């Protein structure tokens, strides 16, 4: 019998998307084929403690209990072997399964947002020569930074809506000047977002100067960079991408937000938003969305997976690339697994393929010389 691969499922993290990560991890644990994999849950608390063999539900319950919160403050020491033949995560202290021989074959980092999806964890794993699911350091960092992402898209000819970016210290120093520039360049309404975050955390739509100032202050609580984007009357489309050097694009889906826009509440709280798969759009537009999704994936040097989000302007039918998400949600309502299921790849097989892609990319990296 073939030995099961041990999957280190990392979730939680120091991010505004902490709770979404827990929900994604719980869904992945439920869908991983236990005949092929042994799953080792590795929780990261909001303060950065690593807790081995703590399932998603247990972490959520502990964090919701004031009495148990103190027990989450003790970090578990973790070291990573640099031996390329081992590909192991070795705990200095941990649970029974890991103490047996201390091996995790592949890391599946289900971390959304900062300190996990932005290249920080990927850098740690790359230095330790450990295979992991998803994008490399560069792709993760570019996929998280909306400013740099859009700048790169523009250089390769991918259309994006007009935007401005400011640093937090600029806003604190010259708020009136910034408000005037935004009003003159973008007008109202406009969207204000933290540059490095996802799941619509910290995003607001501003209809006047008062709302704009408030929205910038909110975004500045989550990131040192704030991006402001011109509003267009549009439909929101999404496309899933899967692969390494030759990525495949899924069918196109549409989001019908229950609120004025697809904010955090519309995504995760009120359960009234609708996901239409496939989107009711002309075939030519669907093909263009798929083409741009694959081009964006390659332009940012992504690997493994990404969800690519678009705006379809109602007046012109022009397609605008909004952003990529290098570790999209895997909850029961998430678009990424639903798009692949509609494209003929069920959830469990999608997870199989992501793990295969992680091992393929890791094997390819071993071809690189690291010494003269």
Taking only the tens of pLDDT, the chain with its 372 residues reads 578 999 999 999 988 889 999 999 999 999 999 999 999 999 999 988 888 888 898 888 888 775 455 455 544 444 444 444 444 444 544 444 444 455 789 999 999 988 999 999 999 999 988 999 999 999 999 999 999 999 999 999 999 999 999 999 999 999 999 999 999 999 999 999 999 876 567 899 999 999 999 999 999 999 999 999 999 999 999 999 999 999 999 999 999 976 565 555 545 555 667 899 999 999 999 999 999 999 999 999 999 999 999 999 999 999 999 999 999 999 878 999 999 999 999 999 999 999 999 999 999 999 998 888
Looking at 78-233, list the stretches that DSSP marks H as alpha helix, in order from N- to C-terminal side: 96-101, 120-127, 137-144, 146-155, 168-173, 175-185, 209-222
SS3 112: coil
Candidate CATH numbers 3.40.50.2300, 1.10.3720.10, 3.40.50.20, 3.40.50.300; the one for domain 5-132: 3.40.50.20
Domain ranges of the chain: 5-132, 144-159+233-364, 163-230
Token pair recorded at residue 261: 């826009």
CA dihedral (165, 167, 168, 169) positive or negative: negative
Token readout for 271 is 């359960």
Place of tokens 């849950």: 41
Strand ranges for the chain from DSSP E: 5-12, 37-44, 50-52, 78-80, 89-91, 106-110, 163-167, 190-194, 204-206, 225-230, 234-243, 248-256, 274-276, 304-313, 319-325
Instruction: Domain 144-159+233-364: give its CATH code.
Output: 3.30.470.20
Report the Cα 370 to chain-centroid distance in Å: 30
150: left (phi over 0), alpha (psi -120 to 50) or beta: alpha
Q: What is the CATH number of domain 163-230?
A: 3.30.1490.20
- Do the domains 144-159+233-364 and 163-230 sit in the same CATH topology, yes or no? no
179 CB-side CA count, 13 A: 17
């Amino acid at each position: 019998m073939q030995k099961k691969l041990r999957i280190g499922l990392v979730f939680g993290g120091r991010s505004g998307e902490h709770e979404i990560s827990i929900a994604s991890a719980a869904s992945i644990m439920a869908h991983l084929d236990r005949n092929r994999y042994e799953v080792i849950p590795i929780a990261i608390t909001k303060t950065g403690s690593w807790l081995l063999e703590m399932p998603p539900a247990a972490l959520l319950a502990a964090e919701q209990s004031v009495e148990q919160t103190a027990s989450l403050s003790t970090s578990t020491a973790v070291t990573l072997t640099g031996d390329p033949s081992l590909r192991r995560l070795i705990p200095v202290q941990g649970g029974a399964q890991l103490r047996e021989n201390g091996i995790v074959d592949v890391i599946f980092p289900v971390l959304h947002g900062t300190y996990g999806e932005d290249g920080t964890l990927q850098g740690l794993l790359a230095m330790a020569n450990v295979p992991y699911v998803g994008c490399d350091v560069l792709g993760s960092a570019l996929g998280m930074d909306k400013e740099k992402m859009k700048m790169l898209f523009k250089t390769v000819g991918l259309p994006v809506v007009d935007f401005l970016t400011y640093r937090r210290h600029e806003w604190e120093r010259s708020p009136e000047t910034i408000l005037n520039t935004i009003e003159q360049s973008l007008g109202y309404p406009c969207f204000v977002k933290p540059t490095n975050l996802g799941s619509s955390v910290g995003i607001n739509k501003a209809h006047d100067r008062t709302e704009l100032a408030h929205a910038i202050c909110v975004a500045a609580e989550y990131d040192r960079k704030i991006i402001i984007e011109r509003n267009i009357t549009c439909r929101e489309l999404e496309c899933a991408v899967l692969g390494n050097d030759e990525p495949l694009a899924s069918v196109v889906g549409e989001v019908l937000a229950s609120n004025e826009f697809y904010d955090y509440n519309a995504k995760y709280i009120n359960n009234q938003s609708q996901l239409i798969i496939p989107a009711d759009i002309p075939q030519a537009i669907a093909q263009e969305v798929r083409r741009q999704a694959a081009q964006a994936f390659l332009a940012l040097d992504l690997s493994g997976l990404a969800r690519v989000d678009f705006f379809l302007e109602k007046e012109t039918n022009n397609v605008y690339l909004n952003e990529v998400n290098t570790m999209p949600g895997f909850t029961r309502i998430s678009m990424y697994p639903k798009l692949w299921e509609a494209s003929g790849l069920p959830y469990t097989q999608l997870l199989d393929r992501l793990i295969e892609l992680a091992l393929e990319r890791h094997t390819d990296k071993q071809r690189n010389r690291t010494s003269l």
